[in-house]
Amino acid sequence: MKWLDRLIEGRTRDLAQRSSRRSFLARVGTVVAGSAATLPLLPVARAQDEGSVPESGDPHSCDYWRYCATDGFLCSCCGGSASSCPPGTEMSPITWIGTCLNPVDNTNYIISYNDCCGKSACGHCMCTRNEGDRPIYRPQLNNEYNWCLGTQHQTYNCSVARVIGKAFD
């Protein structure tokens, strides 16, 4: 929630103009696939021949392409990165999933939005983009849940956006 970010960061005056915000990814995310974060189990984890994901953009910004279904504090602003947790937290093994369009290769990637847990809110870089988000009765596609499940503690610190596969379009 950008409005919440701005609120927490004390700059709210320009929110009214933003309420119909569109990111450059605005139309992405209607194709959504489920996945799991326990990746060693998964077929997608077994292939290693396609190399790395082409990148552009700033992982510290809510506009970064991977964050199309993020709802929370960006770990990249909290002592972690787009795909790693801050010191002293624990990454949740299960999570919600989104599909985001990578503008470099114009390809949809499947993103695992794991929460980092065990400390309370980072409070820095709140980011909400709900592309592909679905109601709470479809948990794997919902970012309103605190996904600190299967972790020692359920306190929520921040969220990462890990690329776990390509989606065939």
**C-beta separation of 100 from 59 below 8 A:** no
57 or 149: CB nearest other proteins:
149
What angle is formed at CA 16 by the lines to CA 14 and CA 17, rounded to 5 degrees?
75
Measured distance CA(11)–CA(26) in Å, rounded: 24
**C-beta separation of 147 from 96 below 8 A:** yes
65 or 125: CB nearest other proteins:
125
* Shortest Å, Cβ 57 to other proteins: 13
* Shortest Å, Cβ 103 to other proteins: 17
* Shortest Å, Cβ 113 to other proteins: 12
Residues annotated as catalytic are 96, 115
